[in-house]
Amino acid sequence: MKIRVGLTKTPKAKPAPGQKLGFGRIFSDHMFVMNYKTGKGWYDPRIVPYGELSLSPAAMCLHYGQTVFEGMKAYYGEKGEIRLFRPDQNFARLNNSNRRLTIPHIDEELCLEGLKKLIQVDKDWVPHDQGSSLYIRPFIIATDPMLGVRPGDEYLFLIITSPSGAYYESGLAPVKIYVESNYVRAVRGGTGMAKTGGNYAASLIAQDEAHKQNYSQVLWLDGVEQKYIEEVGAMNVFFVLDGEVVTPELHGSILPGITRSSSIQLLRDWGLNVSERRISIEELDKANDEGRVLEAFGTGTAAVISPIGELRWGEKKMIFHGGSIGQLTQRLYDTLTGIQYGRLPDPHGWSVVVTE
């Protein structure tokens, strides 16, 4: 399918170097759009000026949440090239989310081609400041104007992009996380493994309550017994425990992070033992009391690696690595960001160069 390109006649002013970008507030000049209709399939892939959508107030996505999304970044490399990190994995995961939400399968290669074209058109929107990136948000919504509950017959696939600042403004810093023992995020058989809007809507109340107590994020426990560690709002979690690295196994309710799988690969490359297994919050607490937990960190596209300085579980505060950054955590952060920005060798071929 040929991707049509329609350029804006009114380009916006780009953020100035050094300007505070924040996250997800500024949008580039163009977006990628593609339509779907049952019987016709996906059609008319195109790059158009960024702008508002026209939707029926009865559009299905607005009522029943039949939506999926992805999150990824483009970075300026050392030699002025623009890089993506494992974008094939994002489009493959989008199709997994599609399957769960009964949204039609997308052509992953066509979407990657559309993304590359979009970035080429908006290359001046990729920020140059240290640690900054162009955040990329592919998403799909059901647009049928119909209030019956059933899978849609009409969809829109879009990619929008947003120049975003460094996640850590003053260098890698440990986060404090609240262990949620009241609300749950997902259960096996639910939608936990999909990036779909409803998961995040349902998590807002817990995040809000954690914020009120000065915790930046929530650690979710399993939805059945509220005993086993699952993940943080938009991060998977790892613990350096008894000489190995432990992370909860993927069993349907945890989002399979691309930063998670990349971290596991690097840790194994370095000769470390990584165990994907069930780990209860009690086990972690006991091990930490006994001095057997050396480091704790989260992994996700936004922060890449987040050292966890404190976990608050009921009345208990678990402090890891004295509340400072562990050695392995720092090494993973340096290596992953090094590969992403093209400063370090990329032995697994994870980086994809968009422009030279």
Binding residues (CB under 6 A) for ligand PLP: these are 71, 195, 231, 234-236, 255, 257-260, 299-301
The CB-of-256 to ligand PLP minimum distance in angstroms stands at 8
Closer to ligand PLP by Cβ: residue 207 or 236 = 236
The set of residues, in sequence order, having a beta carbon less than 8 Å from that of 107 and lying 6+ positions away, is 1, 42
At 98, phi and psi to the nearest 5?
Answer: -55, -45
* Residue closest to 203 by CA, chosen among 218, 190, 193, 223: 218
| Helix extents (H) in 192-325 | 197-201, 204-212, 258-269, 281-289
Contact present, 253 and 264 (Cβ < 8 Å): no
Q: How far is the CB of 17 from ligand PLP (least distance, A)?
A: 27
Instruction: Tell me whether residue 110 or residue 250 sits nearer to ligand PLP (CB atom).
Output: 250
Please say which residue, 28 or 263, places its beta carbon nearer to ligand PLP: 263
**Least distance to ligand PLP, CB of residue 160, Å:** 16
Residue 126 or 194 with smaller CB distance to ligand PLP: 194
The radius of gyration of the chain's CA atoms, rounded to the nearest angstrom, is 21
| Cβ-based nearer residue to ligand PLP, 45 or 138 | 138
Bridge partners, 172 (sequence order)? none
Q: Cβ 147 to ligand PLP, closest distance in Å?
A: 29
Tokens linked to 65: 């949440």
Q: Which is nearer to ligand PLP, 87 or 309 (CB)?
A: 87
CA–CA separation, 222 and 184 (whole Å): 7
CA–CA gap between residue 139 and residue 70 (Å, rounded): 6
* Residue 301: CB minimum distance to ligand PLP, A: 3
Least distance (Å) between residue 192 CB and ligand PLP: 8
